[in-house]
Each structure stands twice: as structure tokens, then as C-alpha cells.
Amino acid sequence: MVETSNGGNLEEHEQVMSEIHLGCPPGFSGPHISKFTFCIPPLDSDWRSHGGTGSVEGEIELDKDGDIVVPRRPLNRSCCLSIQHNITSSIPNVGLQVWRAELVLSDFVLHKIHTSSEFEGIVSLELGAGTGMVGVILAHVAKTVFITAYSEVDHGDEILENCAKNVQLNSEMFKYRASVYVRELNWKNSWPPTMDLENWETEKRFSWTSSEVEEVQGASLLLAADVIYSDDLTESFFKTLERIMSQGSEKVLYLALEKRYNFSLDDLDVVANGYSRFQSYLKDADECESLEHDDSMPFFVGKPIDLTQIPQYVREYNRGNDIEIWQIKYVRRKSPSQ
């Protein structure tokens, strides 16, 4: 694929295909459902129901010989995630496909669920959610998950409808413990979104309510996968990110991306210009420390996650070597009194 100086692809309107197309019939172009399997640990409620920590004090179970029965934590259970996706799509509709970065971010979320309570009971917002897989997995432990995507005017609500379908297909996995909302979020528009209260009920099922916007203000976790592939999109993404992270509670973003190498007409070489543009929005820890006492503009600070420490939980894919996950925080401008 040839890349122009602004990071856009000359074949923008051509059909593209993800390398993830499990069991897809040859020549099949419509929506297809793939199965992804992984293990998840038991919830605290499951543990308590087996007599574990959290049971009512004084309740002791004895066996027939009068010995105390020591409760055992239930084993991890294997889950099967059903994801509806397209096998090919145009560039504006790439969110209808499953991409490798989405699966790596799913591994990261599953690792957090397995090894810590960091994501338990949180409010989360997923940006550019694609098929919605990551948000569905997070809903196993979170309180509220907002799965967001942007639908092009020419394509209607196809991506959002597909996200909603995947939430419905996998609702048994989280058994409605979490509130999961599929909402439209156009990065080229302002945040918070303007709400047409007069036409809200008849306009769209993916519109925001004022209470939902308020809940996002208190979110602690943002997620995004494979949203870095054109300069214009990257700029819009970081503008939206700044609006969201500068308001309400402190938030952290975990972003998974694939370093895509294309032949550049400007460089006459194979380069990853999209990745370089992404890095230009971030400062590293050393730069952050040097600006700590500076009355500078707010900025993003990012650091890569060591993926060698993240096991592969989702079985049906090859992780490869070009996927990265970045932890990104927003350092706000200090007030004069600080």
C-alpha cells in the first residue's frame, strides 16, 4: 500500500481485509460470526456462593464426620466469545472487522482481570470500539462500560449496530452485572456531545443522555485499539481525548496499535509514518519530569507496556511482533495556587 505525506492511503476506497478471519468461508463477504475462547477467573460473588471470603460470619459447614469443610475457590472457567464481523470492508468501515490490536488489548484486559482488582466496579469508555470485543470482556467485572464508535453518514449506523449485536450475543457472559451502552462518538465533533432533547427519543438509539455524559466524567479507564492509521484521524482522536481527560476524574488510557509499514512517495522508503505521528503527541517520563515545575500547556505522557509480561489468553490468533500497548495519561495545566 502506498502512503502519501499526510498519512492517507491512495487506495482509501478499496476493500481491505484483516488477517483475523477465523473459519470464514472462502469468498464470503457478509457478516460472519467467529468464536474466540479464553479463561476468566470467578467473580467474588461466585466465590462467596461457594462459601469463600465474604460469607456470613459464624456460618461453618461440617462434613458427616464433624470436620470443618474448607471452601475452595472455583476454578477459572473457559468462555467462548461470539463476535459478528465482516471479512472485508472499506476504510471507513474497518470497525466491522476484527483486528489484531483488538485481540492484544483483550489479552491485556483479561490479564488485569486475572491478576488484580483494578478494573472491578469501574466506569470505562472505549473509543473507536470496532466490534466491541474489548468492552464486552471488561463488562465481566466493570460497573459501567460505554462502547463507542463513529458511523459515517454514508454508511448509517452499521458499525454501531454491529457493536450492539455483539453485546447481545455475549450478554450471558456478564449476565447484565454491568451496564453496557453502545453510543456514537464522532471525534470531529465537540465533547460533551450536543443533545437535541426535542428529537432525542426519535433520533437514534445510540444518542447520549445527560446522565450518561455525567457518568463518563467520572470514568477512570479509557480503552482504544487500532485507531491510529491516518494523520487526520490521529489528530481528531487526540483532540477528543484531551476534551474527555481534562474533565472530571483522573483517567488513564490503554491504547493498542499496530505499527504499519507502507511505502512512502515522499521518503521513497518503507516507513511507519502513522506510528511516528502518534508518538509526536506524547512526552516520555523524562520530559514529563523536566516540565513538572514548568507552567506549560497540558500534555500527554505515555509509556509502552511490556507485552512479554502479558500472556496470550485469547487462543485463536498469532500476536506477531508489531503490536504495542501504550499507557497514556493527561497532565493538566497547574492552577496558579499549585
Per-residue pLDDT of 81-114, as tens digits, reads 999 999 888 888 899 999 999 999 999 999 999 9
Cβ atoms within 10 Å, residue 32: 17
Strand partners, 302: 328
The set of residues, in sequence order, having a beta carbon less than 8 Å from that of 50 and lying 6+ positions away, is: 71, 72, 73, 74
Backbone angles phi, psi at 240, to 5 degrees: -65, -40
The answer to whether 20 and 100 have CB atoms below 8 angstroms apart is yes
Q: What is the pLDDT of residue 203?
A: 57
Q: What is the pLDDT of residue 65?
A: 76
Q: What is the pLDDT of residue 310?
A: 96
Q: What is the pLDDT of residue 170?
A: 94
Q: What is the pLDDT of residue 260?
A: 85
Q: What is the pLDDT of residue 185?
A: 94
Q: What is the pLDDT of residue 4?
A: 40
Question: Which residues of the chain, if any, have pLDDT below 50?
Answer: 1-10, 45-58, 73-74, 153, 202, 338
Q: What is the pLDDT of residue 88?
A: 86
Q: What is the pLDDT of residue 277?
A: 92
Q: What is the pLDDT of residue 47?
A: 39
